[in-house]
Chain A
Amino acid sequence: MAIGAIDRTAKNLVLTVQEYSLFAQRAVLNIFRPPRYWPDFLLQSNIIGVGSSAIVLLSGFFTGGVLALQSAATLSEFGATAVTGRFVSLTMIRELGPVLTGIMVAGRNASSMASELGSMVVTEQIDAMRALGVDPMRKLVTPRLYSCIAMLLFLTILADACGILGGAAVTVFMNHQNGTQYFSMAWEHLHYSDIAQGLIKPLFSGFIVASVGCFYGMRTSGGTEGVGRSTISAVVTSSVLIIFVDFLLTQVLLTLFAQL
């Protein structure tokens, strides 16, 4: 009985991974053949990019502030509070900026994509689109995928900048340290490899958010309850995948840049 359940679960997992891989492959390759829906790309860029900017800005700012508070407390034991700027900027740019932005965007947009597409599935709007001769993958999924990748890149840059500013605000106004020293330390110890690491990760996060959100949305079944399940699955899966892929990428990029 138990072995049967494990067998079924394992098979379902493999099937889901296979379906997701084929789904993501189709979504990516659609860009190379017409029709391409550029107005939908711009619309989604606005929804994902502009729509998420406030939460990314706020989360980035306060994360930078918290980093400055925590690091200053620890660094003061070694008389090294002067390197707070370096600590905050490197942490934000290499790690927290991309990951936090990915998770925030996943919470907002993977859920929105899953619920929107899921609702369209259960109300037969996806079937209606297919019946009208329009490919929902091209019309709905591909624009979301590419706009999410592009926008996550810019949102991460925004989060990095706000995080460094948040750290600066805490350093100057709460820890009463020198602002010039903070920015000087943040700037001088920043290398191109750090920036490259920080800008490669959001490309993967953007891909994960959109592909997982759309995948769960498009395979919704079971009415409105199914839409709820799809939304939860999309947020949970994309958040976990972002952190997991970040771990893998960090390992690969650290090895790669160490050799350069």
Chain B
Amino acid sequence: MTDTPGSAQSGQNGSGLAGSDPTLPRIANPTPIVEFRNVSIAFDGPPVLQNISFSIAPGETRVLLGPAGVGKSVLLKLINGLLRPDQGSILLFGEDISTMTEEQLFPLRIRTGMVFQEGALFDSITVRDNVAYQLIQERVPDAEIDTRVHQALTFVELDNTFDFFPASLSGGMKRRVAIARALIHQPELILYDSPTGGLDPVTSTTIIELIIKERDFFHAPSILVTHRLQDAFTLCTHRFDADQGHMVPLPEGQTDPTTTFLMLEEGRLIFDGNLHDLIHTDNSFVREFLE
């Protein structure tokens, strides 16, 4: 098992990513956006996560794999302080958040975007107000809000839902609106919590395509929680082509170097590496999961 997350850099796959800037500065040893140091957490019982250590480098997309109930969503909520670790420390944007108060966490959370498992849209307000939620709190002028909401909804190809209420959207549309809400503030880190969970294969592909589009356009580091291997592999083996307006496979044998994998088993991190390492690992649990 080879750990290469720190060396992953955006736009280095030689595929001419649409929307990417090949002149983006490269940092030799970038400060991690997120760093877990021996993090453990339990809820009235055995530990849910034990001694978890990993990091997310700038521009990196990490796919967190594992069966249901293994603690993937808990790990995601630890990253932006929605949960607090019992042991260990978590560094977000270089700051230790494990001892911060809720008030101190809000400025850091504003710099992150999070897509929840079921979308978690506010059902009493319209799609426009959901997407613009942060902007409304910051008292951004209405005209600017409308423009930015239209841009965000256009990105997820749902501009026609501007005035709709979440109840009138399908499951897939809710996830896409949730992605628009997470992206509108141009976050420095995006957390996806099972964005394709419970969706049909076609809609799942649409969501994954959006995540690839976001990765290749904005290069924001992200972590995606999923138990669906096909989503993880699609992320690694495709790029977004702006000319064609959809994702296309990378040439045979190439993978996106910015996309790497983590795998959890019973609260422990058992794999941290790239697609090649994942496929060739000797770990019996990983092999069983892959098969």
Residues of A within 8 A of B (CB): 35, 120, 123-125, 127-135
Contact = CB atoms under 8 A, between A and B. Distances in A.
Contacts of A128: 114, 116, 120-122
A132 B109 CA distance: 6
A132 B181 CA distance: 9
Given A124-B117, A125-B122, A127-B120, A134 B102 contact: no
Given A131-B82, A132-B133, A124 B110 contact: no
A127 B134 contact: no
Contacts of A131: 80, 82, 109, 112, 114, 116, 191
A127 B77 contact: yes
B134 A133 contact: yes
B118 interface: yes
B118 A133 contact: no
Interface of B: 77, 80, 82, 102-103, 106-107, 109-110, 112, 114, 116-118, 120-123, 133-134, 137, 181, 191
Contacts of A123: 118, 120, 123
A125 B114 CA distance: 12
Given A129-B133, A130-B102, A135-B102, 20 more contacts: A35-B137, A124-B118, A125-B122, A125-B123, A127-B77, A127-B82, A128-B121, A129-B122, A130-B82, A131-B109, A131-B116, A132-B133, A132-B137, A133-B107, A133-B110, A133-B137, A134-B106, A134-B133, A134-B137, A135-B106
Nearest to A136: B102
B190 to A, nearest CB: 11
A133 B121 CA distance: 15
Top 10 nearest A-B pairs by Cβ distance? Answer: A128-B120, A133-B110, A124-B120, A131-B114, A133-B106, A124-B116, A133-B109, A132-B134, A125-B120, A127-B82
20 contacts: A123-B118, A124-B116, A124-B120, A125-B121, A127-B77, A127-B82, A127-B116, A128-B114, A128-B120, A128-B122, A131-B80, A131-B109, A132-B109, A132-B133, A132-B181, A133-B109, A133-B110, A133-B137, A134-B137, A135-B106
A189 B26 CA distance: 85
Nearest to B102: A135
A221 to B, nearest CB: 10
A256 B101 CA distance: 42
A125 to B, nearest CB: 5
A188 B54 CA distance: 78
Contacts of A127: 77, 82, 116, 120
B121 to A, nearest CB: 8
Contacts of A129: 122, 133
A150 to B, nearest CB: 22
A127 B118 CA distance: 12
Contacts of B123: 123, 125
Nearest to B77: A127
Nearest to B139: A35
Nearest to B137: A134
Contacts of B80: 131
Contacts of B107: 133
B205 to A, nearest CB: 24
A135 B120 CA distance: 16
A132 B120 CA distance: 12
A134 B110 CA distance: 9
Nearest to B181: A132
B180 to A, nearest CB: 13
Nearest to A37: B137
Contacts of A135: 102-103, 106
A127 to B, nearest CB: 5
B78 to A, nearest CB: 12
Nearest to B106: A133
A125 B133 CA distance: 12
Contacts of B82: 127, 130-131
A93 B50 CA distance: 61
A164 to B, nearest CB: 38
Nearest to B80: A131
A127 B134 CA distance: 14
Nearest to B108: A133
Q: Which of B107, B116, B191 has the most CB of A within 10 A?
A: B116
Contacts of B118: 123-124
Contacts of A133: 106-107, 109-110, 134, 137
A133 B111 CA distance: 9
A34 B89 CA distance: 30
Nearest to B103: A135
